[in-house]
Structure 1
Amino acid sequence: MKNTVMAFIKEKQLLTMNATVLVGVSGGPDSMALLHFLKSLRKEWQLEIIAISVDHQLRGEESLEDLRYVKEMCMQWDIQFVGTSLDVPTYKETHHLGTQVAARELRYQFFTEQMKQFNASFLALGHHGDDQVETMLMEFVRSASSNTLSGIPVKRNFSTGSIIRPFLCVTKKEIEEYCAAAQITPRIDPSNNEINYTRNYFRNQVLPLIKEKNSNIHTTIQRLSETLQEDEIYLQTDAENMVKALVGSNFSKSEVKFKINSFEQYPRALQRRAFHLILNYLYEDLPKNLSYVHEAHFFSLLQSNKSNVQIDFPLHLKLEKSYANIRFYFDLQQEQNETFHTIMEIPGKAFLPDGAAVTATLVKECAEEDELTYFCSMEQVALPLHIRTRQFGDKMRWKGLNGSKKVKDIFIDAKIPRNERDTWPIVTDNNGEILWLIGLKKGNLKRKSNNASYIQLYYENGNM
């Protein structure tokens, strides 16, 4: 394995002599092997190695033990150690994020601080070839855009230097064999074997089947990832130049316009990317319900035989075809008191005015929840369920809250723009009790009794 990794490091120029290298270490096989591997290069490359480790406060004493284990191994290996505990549960609740997203955001904030503290050139992470395969498969399943299929980068700019991943050229099995040969006894996170998380499902159920057909799939996927990344960088640069040439001075923060025939002179690959660059420019934050469907609407508008056509995008952005011109603009005068109300069939699927959807299914057990999923007991809610926009005086209750809170105040606390509040989807039971302010707040999780089933609601915003 050492020869494979060394050849990869040299080919991709992942290290330089006399560099300060931070190593993200969890205590698991991948990161412990990486730390040990870089330690073996320390003298030859004159490297300063510093291990940084994070307790996310998600597994109680067990995750603290991981931190202590890494610290102890660093003492044995004469490696400087920096560890911290991050309050992911509170951060997740405060910022209305899923567990994995919240953990990643806090972890990378810590990584950024340490890169600056040590003026480090590199942050080495232990992602391996199997991680790359899993990532590419997940992106393929849930994405309709080629620029999201590039996978995990081998090297990218970060803080004072670069993130590097020297193990993308080897498999999990090779890393485990390396640990055994080096007499490393890593910590094992039992949640890695659960299949509630999407990645774990691909890792434990899908990847083994693929490896039966191609045991070297990690090498194939890594080459594909690098090729896609290189192609995307080239195409994005050309698309940026296209937008500059096309739009010229017809640019403002609320309006963009150009001539259709000039736009259509460029290849379709650049047209798609130019369209998304314009949206990125106009929207302060891209709406969650913006999807490939809107891209299809845009190209249908270009090809329309009608002289004057207008279509609506999220947050009151309008696309208007007027003879030979296309105009993107925000309709700031549009009334924002649109209402919506529908009854949720169980099982069934309800479509919302903005193209999003809510799917209801019956399940026996609760799986891992995130901001897009909600569970409640069928026995303890008044059916049918309703999906609607907010009404005057709406209030909500949840566990730990003394009394109730106005939905208006929840929006204010979450810094939801005014122009989004009146169209925000809300799930209630038949008594009007708010169960789920989708993506923001959940009412008490109803525990079932006897043999009652759970209702699982899943919100699809069009990006999947």
Structure 2
Amino acid sequence: MKYINKIRNSVLNFIQAENLTSPGDRILLSVSGGQDSVCMLDIIYNLRKKLNIDIAIGHINHQLRGEESERDEEFVRTLSKRYDIPVHIETIDVASYAKKNRKNIEEAGRIIRYQYLKKIAQANKLNKVATAHTAQDRIEWLFLALMRGSGAGGLSGMRPKTDFNGITVIKPLLSLFRDDTYHYLKEAGLEFRVDKSNYDLSIDRNYIREMIIPLLKKRFSPTVFENILRSIELIGEDDDYLNARADTFLSTNSEKSPFGFIFRVEHLSDLKKTILTRVIRLACKRLGTIYPPSMDNVLRAVSLFKENISGKSSPLTEDVFCEVSENMARIGREIDTIEFQYTVDSIPASVDIPELNKVIQFETLEKFELDKRDFQFLINTSNINLPLRLRNVRAGDRMNPMGMEGSKKISDILIDMKIPLWDRKRVVIIEDKAGIVGLFPYRLSERARLRIGEKGILVREVK
């Protein structure tokens, strides 16, 4: 019992030092049935009153090991009854997901696991998810990150507390090694499930665990792992500082639009690469990507911003990419054609266009004076007939721009005005029966020109 109390106190001290929990937390414990997760369940169960938290069990059946997966699920159900706490189980065909999304089984399983743990937590009003990663997992992750050529973010590896798309994930066992969890269970007389696939040496992580870690331990003594963990902590501190710099830049030098994050290319290209790569990753995270973009994709984006060739784009994740247009840059998702149509039958009027997240107001202007030129859009009423129609740009649209003779394609007008590609999709065509009156908020037609002293319509967007 002395050893058990020692381990529980170690975990309690770690939880308190890292502020992993708060009184009143409702925490979903991710329990596979394996050694580390069963250890976490028993420790947190016995600390729950000291921490003033409620707990539940979450289990994901990946359907990868046939009857063994079913036995894992049944074992977790038995644990739930033994500890008298709720259990929530999801059964997912990970192999099909991996094939459909062109992922390896391990990566697909990780993505699915976090997605469904978040789903379970939110459905049951649980505000945190706890996973049973240990200090040894951090070291294994470091070697994997080195082999992938990761930066400081990858090398600093698993953090005690992270945000996963709006839910807090904590790792309360990061102060323990796998030997600690094994001896804890042995001392407590607790059984656990063994996943034989963990010994498949064709999987990189298993090879590191079974071959490289024991070799290092034998050659350099167990204290080498304490030194490696100290290096991970130091790298993490540097990474936190650089991430804070990137966060400040993103907050002050970007516009968050319905199409993602918009930047001036010159602001991005002036950044040091170590900050720019973090800005790119942070933007992806804020857009809700499940996992960060690969370093290869990030470096391609860096080159794209440095080259500043209008019209070029590059993928970052499965559904987020970056593009450059007219000295502006965007990090966001693909923009589909936005179709809409609304009618203005009388003035004044207010038109809500939810497709663009815009509200456009039409007001009567009794007499145009010079000091009114700062308004966005002024339309001459003498040549315009109600009703007006507001719609999206369509292929083949033409207009006679104010100050020009003859008509011109809308697409060419927007290109000449150097309007970025994504903003062209937010242009509102204003027209009457006679044709296009203007491209809000950029350009009027010649027949809508308002001269000093004339009556008109003031058109503006309400923020």
Q: What are the residue-to-residue correspondences of 1:100-139 with 2, within 5 Å?
A: 100-139=106-145
Q: Please point out which of 234, 239, 257 is paired with 2:246.
A: 239
Counterpart of 2:232, as a letter, is S
Shift of the alpha carbon at 1:314? 4.5
Question: 1:345 matched to which residue of 2?
Answer: none
Q: Deviations over 1:410-456 (max 9, x none)?
A: xxxxxxxxxxxxxxxxxxxxxxxxxxxxxxxxxxxxxxxxxxxxxxx
Structure number with greater CO (CA < 8 Å, separation at least 6) is: 1
Identical residues among aligned pairs (%) = 25
Q: What are the residue-to-residue correspondences of 1:124-273 with 2, within 5 Å?
A: 124-158=130-164, 161-212=167-218, 213-242=220-249, 256-258=264-266, 263=270, 269-270=274-275, 273=278
Does residue 5 in structure 1 map to residue 24 in structure 2? no
Find the aligned partners of 2:286 and 2:47 in 1 and give their Cα distance: 45
Residues 46 and 100 of structure 1, relative CA distance in 2, 3 Å threshold: same
Shift of the alpha carbon at 1:295? 7.5
Does residue 94 in structure 1 map to residue 94 in structure 2? no
Shift of the alpha carbon at 1:279? 9.7
| Contact 2:277–2:298, Cα closer than 8 Å, also in 1 | no
Q: Deviations over 1:117-176 (max 9, x none)?
A: 221132111101111100011101211423322201111134675211111111101110
Q: Please point out which of 27, 34, 41 is paired with 1:35.
A: 41
Counterpart of 2:246, as a letter, is A
| Contact 1:23–1:125, Cα closer than 8 Å, also in 2 | yes
Find the aligned partners of 1:276 and 1:21 in 2 and give their Cα distance: 28
Question: 2:87 matched to which residue of 1?
Answer: 81
Counterpart of 2:239, as a letter, is E
Shift of the alpha carbon at 1:72? 1.2
Shift of the alpha carbon at 1:292? 7.1
Which consecutive unaligned segments of at least 5 residues does structure 2 have?
Answer: 1-6, 316-320, 332-463
TM-score by length of structure 2 reads 0.57
Shift of the alpha carbon at 1:71? 1.1
Question: 1:426 matched to which residue of 2?
Answer: none
Question: 1:367 matched to which residue of 2?
Answer: none
Question: 1:23 matched to which residue of 2?
Answer: 29
Shift of the alpha carbon at 1:214? 4.0
Which consecutive unaligned segments of at least 5 residues does structure 1 have?
Answer: 303-307, 331-464
Shift of the alpha carbon at 1:230? 3.7
| Contact 1:132–1:151, Cα closer than 8 Å, also in 2 | yes
Shift of the alpha carbon at 1:309? 9.9
Q: Please point out which of 57, 67, 72 is paired with 1:61.
A: 67
Find the aligned partners of 2:245 and 2:158 in 1 and give their Cα distance: 23
Shift of the alpha carbon at 1:18? 3.4
TM-score by length of structure 1 reads 0.57
Residues 87 and 3 of structure 1, relative CA distance in 2, 3 Å threshold: same
Q: What are the residue-to-residue correspondences of 1:433-444 with 2, within 5 Å?
A: none
Q: Deviations over 1:217-255 (max 9, x none)?
A: 444444443443343233233235446767899x99798
Find the aligned partners of 1:41 and 1:272 in 2 and give their Cα distance: 40
Q: What are the residue-to-residue correspondences of 1:281-320 with 2, within 5 Å?
A: 290-291=296-297, 294=300, 314=314
Find the aligned partners of 2:65 and 2:103 in 1 and give their Cα distance: 18
**How many residues are matched?**
315
Q: Which has the larger Rg?
A: 2
Counterpart of 1:232, as a letter, is D
Find the aligned partners of 1:21 and 1:277 in 2 and give their Cα distance: 26
Find the aligned partners of 1:176 and 1:166 in 2 and give their Cα distance: 16
| Contact 1:120–1:161, Cα closer than 8 Å, also in 2 | no
Counterpart of 1:171, as a letter, is F
SS where residue 126 of structure 1 aligns? coil
Deviates more, 1:45-54 or 1:213-222: 213-222
SS where residue 27 of structure 2 aligns? strand
Question: 2:342 matched to which residue of 1?
Answer: none
Residues 217 and 256 of structure 1, relative CA distance in 2, 3 Å threshold: same
| Contact 1:129–1:219, Cα closer than 8 Å, also in 2 | no
Deviates more, 1:118-127 or 1:176-185: 118-127
Counterpart of 1:11, as a letter, is A
Shift of the alpha carbon at 1:9? 1.1
Find the aligned partners of 1:217 and 1:181 in 2 and give their Cα distance: 26
| Contact 2:163–2:169, Cα closer than 8 Å, also in 1 | yes
Shift of the alpha carbon at 1:317? 8.1
Residues 222 and 326 of structure 1, relative CA distance in 2, 3 Å threshold: farther
Give RMSD over aligned pairs. 4.0
Find the aligned partners of 2:120 and 2:285 in 1 and give their Cα distance: 31
Find the aligned partners of 1:181 and 1:278 in 2 and give their Cα distance: 47
Deviates more, 1:121-130 or 1:73-82: 73-82
Counterpart of 2:193, as a letter, is R
SS where residue 51 of structure 1 aligns? strand
Question: 1:449 matched to which residue of 2?
Answer: none
